[in-house]
Every structure is written in C-alpha cells, then in structure tokens.
Chain A
Amino acid sequence: MAPVTNAVTDNDHDGLLNACAAGDKQALQRLYTLEGASMLGVVQRIVRDRAAAEDIIHDAFVRIWTRAETFDAARGSARTWMFSVARHLALDHVRRHRREFTAGDEIDHHADPLEGHSHHPAPADHFDWQGHGELERCLAHLPPERRNCLFHAYVDGFSHQEIAIRSGHPLGTVKAWIKRSLAALRECLS
C-alpha cells in the first residue's frame, strides 16, 4: 500500500479545529468531509459492524465539537487527535462487546492449549506496514510476528487474547512481546 499523502496539511486541521472551538459548524463539516471516510475506515476495522461504526463516528464528531477547545497543538497534530478520539471510542466499544472472549475466562498462562507448539508456520508480515512514518526504521528491527502483534492491536483493535488466538502464540508470550516491542521501539527512537 502506498503511503497516504494528504492533500491537506495538519495546519489546516489545526485551523479548522480552532474554528470549531469558536463555534464554527462549517469548520466541523469540513473536517468531516476531509477525514470522515478515513476515520470510519479505522473504526469499522476495529468494531466490524457498520451501524456501530457510524454511531461511533457520530459520537466522535460530537466529542470533537464539544472538546475542540481542549485540543492543544503543542501535544500533537489535530488530525492525530481526531483519529485518537474516534479510535478510543471504538476500542471502548469492542472491549464491551467482545466479552465472550474474556468474560468468565480468566487469563491462565498455563492452560493455553497451544503452549508447547513449537512448529508455528514461518512468520510473515500480516500488514503492509512500510512507508508510513518515523517508526518504520525501528519496526524493521522487530521480528515479523512481533510487528504483527502491534498492528493487530493498533489496526484491528484486538485484545491480547484475540491476538493469541489469531496468531496461535500463547497469551503470555503475546503480552510479553508487546511490552518488549514497545520498549525496543522506545530504545530505538531515543
């Protein structure tokens, strides 16, 4: 997948968000026109339910409107902030609705039926992750199966358990990989 190049710069988003804070509804509509489809794509990928995804985009834009004045450009770009509002609403939604994976099924590091399987298929990347940003150089140092864990979490919104089920790796391994991958990325970036 080619890197996404946006015709608009983040500065436009900052300006539009400031206009929202001042009560300019057309600015919010412009942000919706610019980013609505991309944001719905992100949310739909996580919640896997079109109606729920649209409800979340509705809630996200209402929240962006009511909290526009809390946005602080010193803390990150307006676009990142908008996407994070929508993404976290989607994550909250799936954590509530994918309970069947976790409820009453307390995490047991020793009971994983896949524990002991040492012949996993050769690891391959599940995501076309190259060409997207400053993290790339550091992500390249991670083994593919660990990169997959990060992207199944970030892009698919999978819980540790869902990643474990999907990848066939034990739950404890998945948890440790994610923690260590984040530490490795931090180390690499510093």
Chain B
Amino acid sequence: MHPALSVIVFTTLSGIGFGLMTLLGIGLGAHDLAFRWTAVVLAFAFTVIGLLSSVLHLKSPSRAIFSFSQWRSSWLSREGVLSVLTLGVFGLYSLAFLFMDMRVAGLGIAAAVLALVTVYSTSMIYAQLRTVPHWATWLTSAAFLCFAAAGSLLLLAALLAVFGAAGARQTAQYALVALVVAWAVKALWWRRAARTTLDSAGSGIGQATGLDRIGTVRPFELPHTSPNYLMREMAFQVGRNRARALRRVAVLAGALLPALLVLLALVTGPLAALLVIAVLVHLGGMLAERWLFFAEARHAVSSFYGVQ
C-alpha cells in the first residue's frame, strides 16, 4: 500500500494524543498549573494535528462533513464521530481541570473510554480490510492501542519530569513496561505478517483470476502501459533492503533507544532531559514503524498485476 505521509502522521499523532487524554482522564498527572496547561494543550495538539492531517488525504475535503453520517456501517465514519465526541468530552473535562484544578471523575472516565474506543476504531479502518491480509488481524488493533499507551505514558512522564511534578519516576516505569508490551505485540504482528501472503489469504494471482483451475498463472501483458491509480495506491512496492533498514530504524528509535534512555533517566541522569529526548526519538521510530505498516502491506489487487 502507498505510504501516504498524511495517514502516517494521522495514525501516529492521534494515537499519542488520545492516549494522553486517556491518562489525564483517569486522573494521572499533577496539579502544577504549567503542567496542566502544557499537558492539555499537547493532548489537543497531537489529536487535532493528526485529524487535520487525515483530511489532507482526502481528494474532496469540502465534503468531509458527510463522513459523520455512516457510523452504522463504516469504521472510518465511527472514527470521525468518536474523535469529535472525545475532543468535546475531554474539552469539558479540561475546563474544570485547567481553571478550577478540579477533576470531574465522570467526565474524565468518559473521555478516557471514548479516547480508547477512538484509537480502536482508527485501527479497525485497517484491520477490517480482508483485501490487505497483513492488516486483517486483531493484532493490528492491539498494536495501535499498545503503541498509543506507550507513547502517551512516555510523553506524560517527560512532562511530569519537566515541571518537576511528583510521579514522574513512576510514570516512566509504566512507560517502560508499556514499551516492552507494545513491541512484543508488534513482534507478533511482524511474525504473522511474514507468514501471511496473498496466496495464503486466497487472493493470489490464481485465485484472483480463477484461472488456477487450469494451471499456473502469470501475467502476459498488462492492461495499460504506464502505472494507474490502482498500481500507485495498491501495488506499491518497497525495496527489500530499504524495508530492512527501516525496520532497524523503527526498532532502534521506537523501542531500544527510548527504553535505554528511560532506564538511564531512572538510574542516574537528569530525568527531564533524557525523557524528552526519549519521547522525540520514540516518535521518529513510530513514524518509521507506521511507514512500514503501509509500505509492506500487500493488497489483493496487486495480484492482477502480478505483483506479489
């Protein structure tokens, strides 16, 4: 699948933003005024930038308003509705949190649950697609949710440390655990992906054309002489070496370096500085992970073009 920057930024940033809303909603964080403002502004910034980025993916964004209408059948519509609902409920919660230093438990829990369900519905936009066998698994949703948790816990720990608030060390420990869990899930996802092909999912070239009932099928001549929308969008191919290099970047920047930085911060170093660096490095790693999520996924349509 074509790795569009808009969708990579959307899934990565909105995951961390909604994760932070969940954490603040269930009462994590501190009373410190500067912390409260920074945390709330960042939660909104991550989600809103993510959602606006997803609008850049649309060819006719002026009709985006209609996308709130089909929540009965469409995960993309549900994601839109839930995003707006979450922003609204978290907005109300933030008003009391910011201006009265008050945690309205009902609103907080509601925002937390809504935020998690929103991340889940984001993941289902991809996990629902039988046409992309790499994505069509519950592991996709698990990975999206776990990465949202890890990224937001890391961000929260960094914020607490920056403002010298209590709980930074403990949150950093949670973040470390979440990082390990998230990457364990991703390792399972990658293991499954390595064994999942279009053929094994019933959409190889033989099944796509139905000509496997006669013999071995291979493309003889393509329908057109230069790439079309289908080939650009769905039959995107990434070089094996480039994919391997990016996977190393994803694991190194997304998992190993942030974990090392958190450990270092917990044992010795300046907590705030190291955690902030950990957040930034992790974010870079996540963008690489998400790029690969799209670029390495094979779509059934590519079978018609003989692209495996």
Q: Do A and B come from one complex?
A: no
